Amino acid sequence: MSNLDIWLTIIFLGIGTFLLRFSFIGLVGDRKLPAWMTRHLRYVPVAVMPGLIAPLIVWPQATGGEIDPARLIAAATALLIGSIFRSVLGAIFGGMATLYLMLYLLG
């Protein structure tokens, strides 16, 4: 990851994200998105984010790609707290606290 890589990512992600936000309100105008499109767009975050992190949870870089019980238990705790209590912050704090506890207990 070079300095140039970082700047290119910042600039193009910034411009692209602005254009996504400006798309209808500034360019297309008052037209409805077709139903099939909203039906797919609705699932984009939940389609991208779990896939992005799954390998990081199962094969973490910090352990050189070895399965790490502490990280698996922390991830499971965050998942449970987030889905049962619907609390984003509770899941983050609970997950990280579990990770520290497990790293301490399991060494």
Partner 1 sequence: MGADMSRTRGVFWQGVRAGSPFLLVIAPFGLLFGVVATEAGFSLIQTMAMTALVIAGAAQFASVQLLVDGAPVFVAILTGLAVNLRMVMYSASLTPHLGKALTWQKVLMSYFMVDQSYGISIEKYERSPEMPLDEKVAYFFGVISTIAPFWYGFSLIGGLAGSAIPPEYALDFAIPITFIAIVAPSLRSLPHLAAAVVSVIVSLALSWMPYNLWLMVAAVLAMITGAQVEKWLEARK
Range 43-102, binding partner 1 (CB under 8 A): 43-62, 71, 74-75, 78-79, 81-83, 86-92, 95-96, 99-100
- Binding to partner 1 by residue 30, rule CB under 8 A? yes
Residue 42 or residue 105: which is nearer to partner 1 going by CB?
42
Which of 7, 78, 8 lies closest to 49, judged by CA? Answer: 78
**Residue 5, both tokens:** 């890589």
Task: Compute the least distance from the CB of residue 78 to partner 1, in Å.
Answer: 4
Contact 48, 81 (CB under 8 A): no
29: left (phi over 0), alpha (psi -120 to 50) or beta: left
Per DSSP, the three-state class of 82 is helix
* Size of the residue set binding partner 1 (CB under 8 A): 74
Task: Compute the least distance from the CB of residue 34 to partner 1, in Å.
Answer: 10
Run of H or E residues at 43: none
Task: Compute the least distance from the CB of residue 77 to partner 1, in Å.
Answer: 9
- Binding to partner 1 by residue 17, rule CB under 8 A? yes
**Residue 81, both tokens:** 């707290």
- Binding to partner 1 by residue 24, rule CB under 8 A? yes
Task: Compute the least distance from the CB of residue 105 to partner 1, in Å.
Answer: 14
